[in-house]
Each structure stands twice: as C-alpha cells, then as structure tokens.
Amino acid sequence: MKGLIQRVSQASVKVDGRQIASIGPGLLLLLGVERNDTSNEARDLCQKILSYRVFSDERGRMNVNVQDAGGSLLVVPQFTLAADTASGTRPGFSRAAAPEIAEKLYQEFLVAAREQWSEEFVAEGAFGADMEVSLVNDGPVTFMLEVGA
C-alpha cells in the first residue's frame, strides 16, 4: 500500500463540479492500494501517516505529526499510484488491487484514521469518481510512504 502525503495549508476535492471535501492545514493523502494489500497494511500505513513528523516544531525542524500540529487529513483514493512504470511509455496496472478490494481497504483505512485521530479531522474523496483535487502545498513538503510487500 502506498501513500503520497503532501503537507498543505488547504486542500479540497470536487466531483461533478461540486465540492465534496475540504481541509485547512494538514495532510493531503493520495492512497494507492496494490494487489496483495490487506487490512494489516491499511492499519499500518494509517498509523505511519498519522505519526509521520512533517510539521515544524518551535525550532523550525520537521518534528511534529499531523495530530500534534492540530491538522486535518484528506484521503483521496488514487489507483494510479499502483502503476508499473518501469518500462515503456504507458503505465501498466497489473499491480493495482481489483476495485472491490481496493474500495474495501480504502474504507478500512478511513475507519482506522477516524479511530486513531478523530472524525472531525478526517475528510475523504470519492472512490471510483473522476475527482478534481486542489491543494496549496506547504513547503513544498511531499513524501511517498509504503508498507507491505
């Protein structure tokens, strides 16, 4: 399971021109679910993201996680993160989980985030939808986090 996190001052998601989610300062997570991922990977990646220290402490060092910074988390499903780009000029998606499995693990990730953090601080995109994601990257600060095989 892969998660591309970006520290943002704000982020939002629109579907069919209608805003369905938005956050202020926090993390935008683009979540990619791969073929062999399980509930364990969803929980492990959630824990890693919520505890990953990418916010500045009083000395200006990245030493504070999103929870301690009082930030929010916007989780957007993005199957293209599971793409095989090793050869050629067109991505392959054989590594991506089947849609029904990916959606189940995406939902499990959201449940874990809301249990470990708080309902009010976790927003979500729409699985399987054509989304418009807007963000203001703070830094810019962007990291790819992975768990599992």
pLDDT at 149: 59
**Structural domains for the chain:** 2-139 (3.50.80.10)
pTM: 0.94
Over the chain, what HEC string results?
Answer: CEEEEEEEEEEEEEECCEEEEEECCEEEEEEECECCCCHHHHHHHHHHHHHCEEEECCCCCEEEECCCCCCEEEEEECHHHHCECCCCCCCECCCECCHHHHHHHHHHHHHHHHHHCCHHHEEECCCCCCEEEEEEEEEEEEEEEECCC
Pick out the chain residues at pLDDT < 50.
Answer: none
Active site residues: 78-80
